[in-house]
Amino acid sequence: MARRAVSLIPPWSSRILSVELDGAPFYFSTREKHLGEEAPRVFREAQNDARLYSLLVCSGDKVRQAKFHWQLKDKLLRELPPECHLSPMSSFVPNVRDSLLKGYFLKDNSESSSPTERLLRDLSRRDPVLVCSYLKREELWTQHLWSGADSPTTDTAQDYYVVPSEAPECHPSTLNIINSDVFYSFEEAYDVLNKCGDIIPEAMSVLELLPSRAKARSKPDFPVIVIEGLDATGKTTLTESLRDALGASLLRSPPQCLSPVRARFDREPPLIRRAFYALGNYITAEQIGQEGMKTPVIVDRFWHSTAAYAIATAVSGQVCDLPADGSEVYRWPSDLLQPSLVVVLTLDPEERKRRLSNRGQGETEEEKKLDHNQLFRLKVETAYQRISGPESVTVDASPSADQVLQQVLPLIRAKCHL
């Protein structure tokens, strides 16, 4: 399995490896000859008797790869000795799209290497995972790629020296965002869920709800206004008030027809979960097209939310690690209906938290993360602001609901000629 997996990726020595420590990535690479560099931090900090391994998931089938990676952590935590410590890890070729492989870096401080190596050897033989072991000789560390049939001590594969590597220009996660974390076409999202039919029965019921085909539609006869913002910024109250004030139709994304299966897809890997929500936008777009021929349409969340949460989740680190403003990851999908106007509601974090506590409603895992992680909230808000396509206006949602409505109504009437 390891030999076949290696054949799917560029030459091993051209790749950079990254280990997440305390929420930040630390980079290293491999080289045939050592030039006297200091060992990378992740190796310098290892205990002298610790055994180090890396596991990277690699498969020609991206759905299978995502599913296996999602399940691998639970398997490792369940079957490894308790003295083992896992850190998220990746491998990539700088500036090469879709080159990112995800996995885990393993420090084994247990007394015996046998249980760990027995499990890793079994994984490397049967599953789409590349296993490497690391050995310290004097002050130098080497990496050995297991072939699957090998024990960690055989020499059928070349060993490489481990050396530090500079941080890449772009965060490695950005290499795989397009049509993996954020989807930019109906066909790409459809293909992911279609491949899930044999492992997720609910996927087929979602596909049956989709329009017969998705294509860029001409604007409906009436304006389409999307209200965006973090949870508890007052979107529901505002959208209902706008519906009444403008005599408009009110739609929500994800659409109500997906509610029975939403919790099921929230438990799936990001690739499958994001494809589900992307297709929800296309169902909503079909509904917008129908309603927009008769009346103005107000939409509670749309593609902005789908993309902003996905980008902020995929890219670890700081706000500066997000793709730069103007990056293609912020572009609106060419085959998705564009609204006439997007209003993004903003709110002071403390006020938003107070409103959330008063609601007492269930939240998604990402919404819970907003409450406890200021950095994640800042990344979501930054991604919101950078999305390009339909015209977007930011509105302070801290005044009363009526005052917010009185801010937004003139805006809509001026820009949408209502």
Structure tokens at 42: 């992740």
CA torsion through residues 122, 125, 131, 132, sign = positive
CA distance 69 to 395: 40
CA distance 40 to 20: 13
CA distance 205 to 210: 9
Predicted local distance difference test score (pLDDT) of residue 372: 55
CA torsion through residues 294, 296, 301, 303, sign = positive
* 248: region left, alpha or beta (phi > 0 left; psi from -120 to 50 alpha): beta
Q: Residues 142, 147, 153, 155: what is their CA dihedral angle, to the nearest 10 degrees? A: -80
- Domains of the chain, start order: 2-170 (no CATH), 177-416 (3.40.50.300)
Residue closest to 226 by CA, chosen among 234, 235, 218, 217: 235
What would the pLDDT profile of 151-197 be if each residue is shown by its tens digit? 444 444 578 899 999 999 889 999 999 999 999 999 999 999 999 98
CA distance 304 to 380: 10
Q: In this structure, are residues 342 and 390 in contact, taking their beta carbons and an 8 Å threshold?
A: yes
Q: In this structure, are residues 241 and 401 in contact, taking their beta carbons and an 8 Å threshold?
A: yes
Strand partners, 343: 227, 393
Burial (0-12, 13-18, 19+ Cβ within 10 Å), 334: exposed
What would the pLDDT profile of 22-73 be if each residue is shown by its tens digit? 777 899 999 888 888 888 988 988 877 789 999 999 888 899 999 999 999 9
Residue closest to 42 by CA, chosen among 103, 87, 101, 108: 87
Q: In this structure, are residues 42 and 105 in contact, taking their beta carbons and an 8 Å threshold?
A: yes
Per-residue pLDDT of the chain (418 residues; tens, 9 = 90+): 444 454 455 567 789 999 998 777 899 999 888 888 888 988 988 877 789 999 999 888 899 999 999 999 999 999 999 999 999 999 999 999 999 999 999 999 988 889 999 999 999 887 889 999 999 888 889 999 887 544 444 444 578 899 999 999 889 999 999 999 999 999 999 999 999 988 899 999 999 999 876 554 567 899 999 999 988 889 999 999 999 999 999 999 999 999 999 999 999 999 999 999 999 999 999 999 999 999 999 999 999 999 999 999 999 888 999 999 999 999 999 999 999 999 999 988 777 778 777 765 545 566 666 655 888 889 999 999 999 999 889 999 999 999 999 999 999 999 998 7
φ and ψ at residue 313, rounded to 5 degrees: -75, -40
pTM for the complete prediction?
Answer: 0.89
Write a three-state SS string for the chain: CHHHHHCCCCCHHHCEEEEEECCEEEEEEEECCCCCCCCCHHHHCCCCCCEEEEEEECCCCHHHHHHHHHHHHHHHHHHCCCCEEEEEEEEECCCCCCCCEEEEEEEECCCCCHHHHHHHHHHHHHCCEEEEEEEEECCEEEEEECCCCCCCCCCCCCEEEEEECCCCCCCHHHHHCECCCECCCHHHHHHHHHHCCCCCHHHHHHHHHCCCCCCCCCCCCCCEEEEEECCCCCHHHHHHHHHHHHCCEEEECCCHHHHHHHHHHHCCCHHHHHHHHHHHHHHHHHHHHHHCCCCCEEEECCHHHHHHHHHHHHCCCCHHHCCCCCCHHHECCCCCCCCCEEEEEECCHHHHHHHHHHHCCCCCHHHHHHHHCHHHHHHHHHHHHHCECCCEEEEECCCCHHHHHHHHHHHHHHHHCC
